[in-house]
A and B are shown apart, each in its own frame.
Chain A
Amino acid sequence: MTNGLQTLAPPETGAERAYDSDTLVAFDDVVGRGEVLDLADVVIVGSGAAGATCARVLAEAGVSVILVEEGPLVRTSEMRADVYTTMKRMWRQMGSQLARGRAFIPLLQGRCVGGSTVINSAIVHRLPERIHAIWAREYGLGEALPYERLARIWDQIEKELHIAPTDARIQGENNRLLEVAANALGFESHPTRRNVHHCRGSARCAQGCPNGAKQSMNLSYVPRALRHGARIYATAKVERILAEGGRATGVQARFVDPSTGRRGPNLTVRARHAVIVAASALQTPLLLAKSGIGRQSKLVGRRLQLHPATAVVGIFDRPTKLWFGATQGFETSQFLEEDMKIETVALPPELAAVRLPALGPELVEQLASYGHLAQWGIEIRAKAHGTVKPGLFGFGPRYAWDAADEDVAIAKRGIATTCEMMFAAGARTVLPGVYAIPDAVSSMDEVRKLDELSDDPSRFHFIAAHHFGTAVMGLDPATSVVGPNGESHELPGLYVADGSIFPTTIGVNPQHAICGLAWHVAERLAETIPARARRPRMSIEDRRVGKAPSSSVPTIEA
């Protein structure tokens, strides 16, 4: 092995041993059987950054927890390099979920145990203090959600998820070139902090880590919660939140075969104390709306906010070997105050090809030079608001979002700056990826034509993997959906803990901020459940001894 990696220990995949027939139930386990019923103190919808963190906090506090996840469990040994297989197994709607506006923007999300943390690049940022100050000033969250409390939570998470700057040994050329460019231009830059342990730099974050190195939720907090007595139903799509006596009492779900869409039996999980919805800013509002929640504030599904992102490709004479190095291992923080973040992003060839403008023999030639490409992304803290609405007549949900003029202006500045950085790093040719600008430019004079373009978002190729604001947190029930502890203003016992409660976009990758807020919500919830009312903690071993195998899936025969 090269780059000194022979000194690293083998990856830890032992966490996956927590998934067994006692802790995990999925479509194949219940197909052909009657309705499945279960009961816990708290039921959590979704097993991504928010749901898994809530499960970890509550299970370790002695609260019995059941997670319900729409996607399947994909084990490390099943992670494949080809993107199509990944999209089928782990990406919601195979990546074809679109925000419609003047341009169509793919809204990328994971749909598997661990959620989007399985397919993201493990980038970790705390909620910036300047954003927290906005939340305090404009949404009154300063006292109820003090930054010091969040900082303590992040300290803990950072220890548990091995969060550290990207190791120089797995930096790779794509990341190194951004460092060269930033140094040449005097931009503040640093190795990206990531939640990985023994990363080998396989540049396959988007397809799920093949080495079990990424501390995604499927390998960290979900197994940790399972070891503390939690259980998980996978491939079960929650269709409704149940309420009785003006309080949330559980969820109704349906098992669905993830590969064929075949429907299986119903699943009903009763919650003695609370239901936590942690299904993402795109799915949570749909579930709330279907359950009749949000009529009071009329804000559920409104205020959809995104970090649209685009990428610039550079062609270098020197080899860049995009297939080695941290997928996103270096970034500049120079422009955070200007609401943009420039970072590396080593896309696999299938996705890199989409960013190459050519067709025919020229495209083949560009693909053949894949080993000489560098790719850097520009992430924008956009101001525009959109909506999430349930589909009509059996069609899928409708997402509407259109970039504001100021968002496009930031994108133009970001692309121009990234082109300048590419040239500073020695790129021979740069592909800005903007309509009405030459496909390939070799000088900044050509890039400056960007300034002459109108602020039309359809000139750019945006994607958005960070989504916020569709069930916003606040003090006033008239202007927010949940309170500062995540509990619904409208339905006691119902909590929301994911990116949908963020009042604004945050300008950095949100996984860590989501985990922090989810931890806060779960900890506050745990404080409300008296110790005597909690089900005693049971280890997996205890449960094996104490239960017959069939009793792990209580059913009413059809």
Chain B
Amino acid sequence: MLAFERRALLVVFDAILPAGAHPQLPYGARDVPFDRFFEDAERHAPFDFMLGLRASFWVIWLCPLFAIGRLRTFGGLSERDRLRVLHWLQARRTYFLREVPNIVKTVACLAYCGLPPIQSAIGIERVDATPPSWARDLRLPRLTNEARGRALPIESEGAR
């Protein structure tokens, strides 16, 4: 993946999994070191997997004109309009178009939901504390009652 694609894909992930959206689960895609996830996926994922992800990304990135009549890329839209674009795609009659947000969501959730702090936040008891190798040095801030209700950044070298 190109560096631009990685950066821009994070914008899409952020629209799918926004931070601070729920008091119990304040983490969002922006808290996850996705740059290292992409590096790992490029090393291990089969060609078809990455091709599907990249193709889906480009459809999302370039479709706002058709979706909501705005001559901008996905990255140039407000958070609200980004979500409108994704919902527009999801509602298409054409199978390949409506699967596009699902493909990107699948990859985003694969990384996001596999992290111990996320699993802990969604209430899983006895979480496997060993993080995936791409998130090995992730430090896990404890989610206290006081912390609920505001977004907590996950501390890691790769996280923004």
Which of A's residues lie within 8 Å of B, judged by CB?
80-85, 87-88, 93-94, 96, 98, 102-104, 202, 210, 259-260, 321, 323-324, 348-350, 352-354, 357, 359-361, 363-365, 367-368, 370-371, 396, 435, 458
Give the docked Cα–Cα distance between A269 and B37 (Å).
39
Provide 20 A-B residue pairs closer than 8 Å at the C-beta atoms, listed in order of the A residue: A80-B128, A80-B130, A81-B114, A82-B114, A82-B132, A83-B110, A83-B114, A84-B110, A84-B114, A259-B43, A259-B44, A260-B43, A349-B124, A350-B109, A350-B110, A359-B16, A359-B86, A359-B105, A364-B18, A368-B123
Q: Which B residues are CB-close (under 8 A) to A94?
A: 44-46, 49
Name which residue of chain A comes closest to B134, CB basis. A84
Q: Which A residues are CB-close (under 8 A) to B86?
A: 359-360
A360-B86, A368-B25 known; A354+B102 contact, CB < 8 A? yes
Check B48 against A458 for contact (C-beta < 8 Å).
Answer: no
Name which residue of chain B comes closest to A435, CB basis. B98
Q: Which A residues are CB-close (under 8 A) to B49?
A: 93-94, 96
Give the docked Cα–Cα distance between A349 and B128 (Å).
13
Q: How far is the CB of A348 from chain B (nearest CB, A)?
A: 8
Check B109 against A88 for contact (C-beta < 8 Å).
Answer: no
Check B46 against A350 for contact (C-beta < 8 Å).
Answer: no
Check A81 against B105 for contact (C-beta < 8 Å).
Answer: no
A82-B115, A354-B106, A360-B16 known; A210+B128 contact, CB < 8 A? yes
Decide if B64 is an interface residue (CB 8 Å cutoff): no
- 8 smallest CB-CB distances across A and B, nearest first, come from A82-B114, A81-B128, A353-B109, A361-B21, A364-B21, A349-B113, A458-B95, A371-B123
Check B109 against A354 for contact (C-beta < 8 Å).
Answer: yes
Q: Which B residues are CB-close (under 8 A) to A349?
A: 109, 113-114, 118-119, 122, 124
Give the docked Cα–Cα distance between A220 and B111 (Å).
32
8 Å CB interface, B92-140 against A: 95, 98-99, 101-102, 105-106, 109-111, 113-115, 118-119, 121-128, 130-133
Check B111 against A84 for contact (C-beta < 8 Å).
Answer: yes
Name which residue of chain A comes closest to B129, CB basis. A81
Check A359 against B90 for contact (C-beta < 8 Å).
Answer: yes
Check B24 against A96 for contact (C-beta < 8 Å).
Answer: no
Give the docked Cα–Cα distance between A260 and B45 (Å).
10
Q: Which A residues are CB-close (under 8 A) to B111?
A: 84
Name which residue of chain A comes closest to B79, CB basis. A360
A93-B48, A94-B45, A364-B25 known; A359+B83 contact, CB < 8 A? yes
Q: How far is the CB of B25 from chain A (nearest CB, A)?
A: 4
Decide if B67 is an interface residue (CB 8 Å cutoff): no
